[in-house]
Chain A
Amino acid sequence: MPMINSLEKATNPTAPLHEHQFVALEQQKAAATAGMWVFLTSEIMFFGAIFSAFLIYGYLYPEVFAHFSQKLHLLLGSLNTGILLTSSWTMVMAVHGAQQQNRRLLLRSLVFTFLLGAVFLGIKGYEWSAEIRSGDFPGSGQVNPRQGEIFLRLYFIMTGFHGLHVLIGLLLITGLWIDTARKTNIPSSQLHFTENLGLYWHFVDIVWIFLFPMLYLMDKPRLPW
């Protein structure tokens, strides 16, 4: 039990709701939000490294990259973009529910977000398996010219790391859902968690918003079918 000093007692007649290192709940919330933003900045640099690599190779081998970009499944990619954007909206509703102390809205929105994220991963997995079946994967021995290997390698790494982030998001959503389902109200710590999870989810969405045109729309505009 941390020592509670006189000033804290004056502002907080009951036991403190915040963790012991903070002086007030507002400070805890500000720290949590700031921490999430710093973390996301770090994430931007992580994806930035591979994005840079992609742009550099795209500049070196424009025709090869355009050719392999055309081979990707544009319809499924567009569908996935829509799905992930929609899931960002349901995530906004989840955060809204938490702010309004509306447990039902929070739980329902989390379920929708989870389902949309899972469908996204399912479609992505189908795309991958289709590409592997048709020999469009690195090391298949059927990639010609060989710079195509680089495109495919980058494609699998980028979508792989993004998919991993979606998967982590799904696990966090599951954890939050279980936690919320067990409680009768939404304590402030949970509200902060929901808000930060929202930030994370939107970030993962934005990464895809960059990935999609880079990978699928490298060359001239074309119809999705």
Chain B
Amino acid sequence: MNETALPNYLQEGTSLGSWLLTRDHKRIALLYMFAITFFFVIGGIAATFFRLELVTPKGDLVEAATYNRLFSLHGIVMVWLFLIPSIPAVFGNFLVPLMIGAKDLAFPRLNLLSWYLFMAGGTIIIGSAVLGSVDTGWTFYTPYSSLYSNSHVVAAVTGVFIVGFSSILTGLNFIVTIHKMRAPGMRWGRLPLFIWSQYATSIINVLATPVLAMTLALIALENLTDLGIFNPWKGGDPLLFQHLFWFYSHPAVYIMILPAMGVVSEVITCFARKRVFGYNFIAGSSLAIAFIGFMVWGHHMFVSGQSPYAGLVFSFLSMLVAVPSAIKVFNWTTTLYQGSILLSAPMLYVIGFIGLFTIGGLTGIFVATLAIDVHVHDTYFVVAHFHYIMVGGAVMAYFGALHFWWPKMFGRMYPESWARLAAIMIFVGFNLTFFPQFVLGYQGMPRRYHSYAPEFQVWNVLSSAGASILAVGYLLPFIYMAWSWKYAPRSGPNPWPATGLEWQVPSPPSKDNFSGIPHIEDEVYAYDQLFGKSDEPHSAPS
């Protein structure tokens, strides 16, 4: 069968309209990629400013009100406009149909609508930032957010509310696609682990996001009408807001990390040239994280005045949710044993992920431990912990995925040594930025402080210095990826080589992905067949 005769998805039309009205999941993935890259830069600029501010103990670079708006903007943009859509909306969109042997997602028009909702919400958030922004932190705690803040709370929550519908619809699309669109022979036990992780993520998206939508609607109502169900002077309970907020926002952390885990599973098995160890356990642990993750929200409220006995229950459940994460780390490590390992750029990102995620996860045990949390809650220890998960985990994996599937998306390679350098710089810069914050937190520096006690300065300076390395590490891929788009050598369909349906079609794929209906006969990750007898890989089956 002659695969190359078909035009690829990038050649299907070059006008702006052909992009803005496309229903092709691969083009929509690229639309998301451009959008979230822009938002990542916005969030990064905000972080740059407050890291500079924090070099000195006094609040001398920006005013307190500005500082509070900077960290709020950083949180809102990075959580809702970058991390939550990052891997699902870009790589999920691009790969889910390709990996399961479908022409597209089940609802292509809905998929495009999701992107427009995302852009509408993002525009409102950025617009409110231009007009003066919001100063409540990304958590919008009442009664500050509803009765005291003089910033653009309503605009910000409206933006997040709309973006939420984008994630619900994307999740719905993935669930239906994975259930109903698998090619013949693509049994559940043959699904790539990336698909399992997207499936678990989509469940959280569909079940948790509507709770946030309702909660934010209540905050907006309370702001607009000055009368709400959280107002303590009207008999309301601000703790109820915290319960509702974290009922979404803790699972949201798993929305960020589960897809990243899926990426790690794909990359590590490819560059070890060995079937991933404990496939069933990695797949099952994704679902376990999704379900147990719904029952741990109260661990954000150990010192909030909720009953200490509720604290006990939430602490216990938080310990349980850590087990599936540990299982994943152990299985990935064991996958490397007796493999044939190539430390390519994607592999460096992914190995960096495992190290940073392990630290992030274990410090999660610290903060889930009640006595320690009473001390470190709302300090830089928590800031460091979740940045190890979100940045050391999710962002590392996003970059790993970007390098791993770049050849598939654009049919071009990238400069390998530059990519490795960037991976190492990001890893080093990240640790230098955030490890000092563990120390700061245990020494008692509260988070969201515009000025701080002088004895915290040394660690803050180290952290800001690390941030500058991190910034350079993030800038490098922008430069060489832009270059590679036009000038790098062509990659061919399967450069690594890897198993999986997406690598058996041309790069870039055609609009309909497959020229016929693929029939799957191989087990998943059949690297022993690919590299069974000789050093040369078999030609990919067509």
- A-side interface residues toward B, CB under 8 Å? 2-3, 5-8, 19-23, 27, 30-31, 34-35, 38-39, 41-43, 45-50, 52-53, 56-57, 60-61, 138-139, 145-147, 149-150, 153-154, 157
Distance from B237 Cβ to chain A, minimum over Cβ atoms (Å): 7
Distance from B460 Cβ to chain A, minimum over Cβ atoms (Å): 39
Which residues B365-384 have CB closer than 8 A to chain A? none
A42 close to B229 (CB less than 8 A): no
Q: How far is the CA of A61 from the CA of B234 in the complex (A)?
A: 12
Interface string of B152-192 (1 = CB under 8 A from A): 00000000000000001001110111011100000000000
A49 close to B244 (CB less than 8 A): yes
Q: How far is the CA of A46 from the CA of B512 in the complex (A)?
A: 35
B107 close to A35 (CB less than 8 A): yes
A27 close to B215 (CB less than 8 A): no
Which residues B209-234 have CB closer than 8 A to chain A? 209-211, 213-215, 218, 221, 225-229, 233-234
Q: How far is the CA of A47 from the CA of B206 in the complex (A)?
A: 13
Q: How far is the CA of A154 from the CA of B34 in the complex (A)?
A: 41
A5 close to B234 (CB less than 8 A): no
B541 at interface by CB-CB < 8 Å = no
Q: How far is the CA of A45 from the CA of B165 in the complex (A)?
A: 13
Given known pairs A20-B103, A138-B227, the reply for A34 and B179 (CB within 8 Å) is yes
Q: How far is the CA of A21 from the CA of B206 in the complex (A)?
A: 23
Distance from A90 Cβ to chain B, minimum over Cβ atoms (Å): 28
A-B contact count (CB 8 A): 119
- Number of B residues near A (Cβ < 8 Å) is 47
Q: Which residues from B are CB-within-8-Å of A43?
A: 210
Contact of A35 among B106, B214, B236 (CB under 8 A): B106
B343 at interface by CB-CB < 8 Å = no
Contact of B210 among A2, A42, A53, A146 (CB under 8 A): A42
Which residues B85-108 have CB closer than 8 A to chain A? 97, 102-108
A3 close to B225 (CB less than 8 A): no
B236 close to A150 (CB less than 8 A): yes
Residue of B nearest to A19 (CB): B108
Contact of A150 among B208, B215, B229 (CB under 8 A): B229
Q: How far is the CA of A27 from the CA of B229 in the complex (A)?
A: 45
Contact of A53 among B176, B209, B240 (CB under 8 A): B240
Which of B108, B235, B240 has most A Cβ within 10 Å? B235
A49 close to B221 (CB less than 8 A): no
A53 close to B229 (CB less than 8 A): yes
Q: Which residues from A are CB-within-8-Å of B21?
A: none
Given known pairs A45-B211, A49-B244, the reply for A5 and B515 (CB within 8 Å) is yes
Q: How far is the CA of A27 from the CA of B180 in the complex (A)?
A: 7
A38 close to B172 (CB less than 8 A): yes
B342 at interface by CB-CB < 8 Å = no
B106 close to A5 (CB less than 8 A): no
Q: How far is the CA of A20 from the CA of B109 in the complex (A)?
A: 12
Q: How far is the CA of A20 from the CA of B181 in the complex (A)?
A: 12
Q: How far is the CA of A7 from the CA of B184 in the complex (A)?
A: 12
A7 close to B229 (CB less than 8 A): no
B482 at interface by CB-CB < 8 Å = no
Given known pairs A2-B512, A57-B229, A154-B229, the reply for A149 and B234 (CB within 8 Å) is yes
Interface string of B501-542 (1 = CB under 8 A from A): 000000000001001110000000000000000000000000
Q: Which residues from A are CB-within-8-Å of B213?
A: 46
Q: How far is the CA of A66 from the CA of B175 in the complex (A)?
A: 42
A-B pairs with lowest CB-CB distance, top 7: A46-B210, A147-B235, A21-B104, A49-B214, A5-B516, A45-B210, A31-B106
Q: Which residues from B are CB-within-8-Å of A20?
A: 103-104, 512
Q: Which residues from A are CB-within-8-Å of B240?
A: 53, 56-57
Given known pairs A5-B516, A21-B102, A21-B104, the reply for A49 and B225 (CB within 8 Å) is no
Contact of A41 among B104, B207, B228, B235 (CB under 8 A): B207
Q: Which residues from B are CB-within-8-Å of A49?
A: 210-211, 214-215, 244, 247
B235 close to A30 (CB less than 8 A): no
B516 close to A42 (CB less than 8 A): no
Q: Which residues from A are CB-within-8-Å of B208?
A: 45
Distance from B499 Cβ to chain A, minimum over Cβ atoms (Å): 23
- Extra contacts, 20 of them, besides A2-B512, A43-B210, A45-B208 (Cβ < 8 A), are A3-B512, A5-B517, A7-B517, A21-B102, A21-B104, A21-B181, A31-B180, A31-B181, A35-B172, A39-B172, A42-B207, A45-B211, A46-B211, A46-B213, A49-B247, A52-B244, A53-B240, A57-B235, A150-B234, A157-B218
Q: Which residues from B are CB-within-8-Å of A138?
A: 225, 227
A45 close to B105 (CB less than 8 A): no
B180 close to A21 (CB less than 8 A): no
Residue of B nearest to A41 (CB): B206
Q: How far is the CA of A139 from the CA of B140 in the complex (A)?
A: 23
Distance from B126 Cβ to chain A, minimum over Cβ atoms (Å): 26
A53 close to B515 (CB less than 8 A): no
Residue of A nearest to B180 (CB): A31
A7 close to B211 (CB less than 8 A): no
Q: Which residues from B are CB-within-8-Å of A22?
A: 106, 181
Which residues B236-259 have CB closer than 8 A to chain A? 236-237, 240, 244, 247
A23 close to B234 (CB less than 8 A): no
Q: List 24 A-B contacts (CB under 8 A).
A: A5-B516, A21-B97, A21-B104, A21-B105, A31-B106, A31-B176, A31-B177, A31-B181, A35-B107, A35-B172, A38-B172, A42-B207, A42-B209, A45-B207, A46-B210, A46-B211, A47-B214, A50-B214, A53-B218, A57-B237, A61-B235, A146-B233, A149-B227, A153-B229
